[in-house]
């Protein structure tokens, strides 16, 4: 079972061929949505999918933790 994400958790944002470090800024909707700030200062919103992975709405990025 995956561990729960909490504010301050360090994560890796995975794009197609690139990985970037980030930190969970907020956990919303009972843990189904997380907002991550990347090292470049970009805010990304990830949603929990049925596959138990967090991905952006456009599916351009996913979280690894």
Interval 25-51: pLDDT, tens: 999 999 999 999 999 999 999 999 999
Query: Do 33 and 47 contact (CB within 8 A), yes or no?
Result: yes
Q: State the pLDDT at residue 1.
A: 55
* pLDDT score recorded for residue 33: 97
Q: What is the DSSP letter of 10?
A: E
**Whole-angstrom distance, CA of residue 28 vs CA of residue 18:** 26
Domain positions in the chain are 1-41+54-65
Indicate the CATH number of 1-41+54-65 among 1.10.3470, 3.60.40, 2.60.120, 2.30.30: 2.30.30
3-state helix, strand, coil in the chain (%, to 5): 5, 50, 45
Candidates 41, 30, 64, 47; CA nearest to 56 is 47
């Amino acid at each position: 079972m995956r561990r729960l994400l909490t504010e301050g958790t360090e994560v890796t944002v995975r794009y197609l061929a690139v990985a970037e470090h980030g930190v969970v800024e907020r956990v919303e909707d009972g843990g189904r949505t997380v907002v991550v700030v990347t090292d470049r200062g970009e805010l990304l919103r990830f949603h929990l999918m049925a596959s138990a992975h967090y991905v952006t709405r456009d599916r351009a990025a996913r979280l690894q933790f």
